[in-house]
Structure 1
Amino acid sequence: MVRESLAGDDRPCPVHGRNVLITGGAGFLGSHLADVLHARGAHVFCLDNFLTGQASNLAGLHAQERLTLLRHDIIDGIPDTLPPFAEIYNLACAASPVHYQADPVSTALVNSVGVLNVVRRAERDGARLFHASTSEVYGDPEIHPQPEHYRGNVNPAGPRSCYDEGKRFAETLLTDFARTRGVTLRIARIFNTYGPRMRPDDGRVVSNFIVQALCGTPLTVYGDGKQTRSFCYVDDLICGLTALMASPTEEGPVNLGNPAECSMEELAALILELTGSRSPVVRLPLPADDPQRRRPDISKAERLLGWRPATSLHDGLISTVAYFDRILRDNPLDALRAAE
């Protein structure tokens, strides 16, 4: 896990009593990050256009001080009415193909115009800037596992390119801006993350399988089910994000993810076991440009941050299944729609 000096000890916390901005702050990752930063004493400002974020994700903070939540799209800039920030975490962008492909032009603009607005605000405030990039910059990789120096195999004109190429362009824009304007920048390439607060209609494989299993509908496995992903539990990922932001060393993008690789067949079997479901498994055609293998080389994160995921897939899924079981019982109609 992350070193004690970064996880929280007796020394003063760098964000205690300071203003921190999270774009996409009501989303899956953003809300978990808000919890951690709030607990460390920061005044947390969350901007979210609520395309995929939900105010209910921040319910535990709403009744407390030091939280400001605003409905806002970073494509329209960062409101001048907000105070100066010590740190800015840019997490704004739908991460599920179902959502980012629904409006691909907006997805591309969030990763270009929106990112430019964020980095300009960081420059103005003298804020340290964190940007959430993605393992999708590697495309359908030709080397395995994927180290940060691998340049990727991405289709620039495919159905996923609004996100894949959008995130690649964002990295270029940010690194050039930081190099020429002096902004302190940290970039994480985030691999598949799961856990409580994922939406039932998220569209990614963990939420799909769990919702389908709990609802007793067929689990949809695309292709032959041999394709792999590496799943990181959200608590581990958030530790990595905050450790990277606090790191005194900048060495370019850093992979954050769990190097334990799992096939879609294995994931389906594990979720059926944990839910006790008798749902059948059905096969559907593999979507265009869907990567066959995905696993991070995290040696850089281990060296720079002393970070490595601590939660096994089995244990993380137990918590995630319990979360989905609770919310689906409260919203059975939403559950059925999501499982279709």
Structure 2
Amino acid sequence: MKVVGDTTTNVQTNKKTANISGRQLKNKLFKGLFVAATGLSLLVLIVLLVRIFTQGIGHLSWDYLTSFPSRRPEDAGIYSAFIGTIWMMAVTAPVAFVLGVGTAIYLEEYAPKNKFTDLIQMNISNLAGVPSVVFGLLGLTIFVRELSLGRSVLAGGLTMALLILPIIVVASQEAIRSVPAELKEASFAMGATKWQTTYRIVLPAAIPGILTGNILALSRAIGETAPLIMIGALTYVAFLPENIMSQFTVMPIQIFNWTSRPQTEFHDVAAAGIIILLVMLLVMNSIAVWIRNKFQKQL
């Protein structure tokens, strides 16, 4: 009986050892797969950045930043596209922020939990994955034709606001959900109203996530081209917008225009524009991180 018991124990021990070895092997395989995927992504990114910088760094200058586009690559600049981008974002940012955050507050704090709100939530989540060209068609139909805004900064800004609105709503909802329920219950226990609790307790606690989501969404909007091409934004502009009803162009469209030309010199000019666009995106993302850290320290 003792021999049989020892044999059974040895068999069980061998099975456990085999199972542990199998799990360790799977862990190493998946770890290697993930490291390889990360390395491949970084390699592609590094190759792309090196290619862009080697092509465009020689064209970066003050004259390039302050000159209008030209049919001669040595005289071409990105001034009108740079200013047009700022004009468009000045329209997109406040519209998207107010509508997106307001929608998130209503859905999370005020809307009844029923099938209708579930349907709205599902549609908002689905809209976040819709191709950007669809929003361009929507902007063309509503803003350009129905509201007769034409190829204006206002039409472009509103179209881009529609594009990033679902992203802002989803990000703001997640930030609001992350606020501990105990904070709200304590506020209600002190006699605060629903709006006072939302304004003084929920929003201050959720503002880091809300602002981070908004700025990251704006970072997407600043690099989009398809919706603006659909509404008829100009590809060659040798003037600056005077107001929100002026015609305009933006940096992605100007870069697209240069890359579509057969002359290789224009491709180098486009690479310089990509560098400036990347710098703008990095600045916006850095601001998002700084705002998040600042508010998290205050909390």
TM-score (norm. length: structure 2): 0.25
Higher relative contact order (CA 8 A, sep 6+): 2
Identify, as 1 or 2, the structure richer in strand: 1
Larger radius of gyration between Structure 1 and Structure 2: 2
Identify, as 1 or 2, the structure richer in helix: 2
TM-score (norm. length: structure 1): 0.22
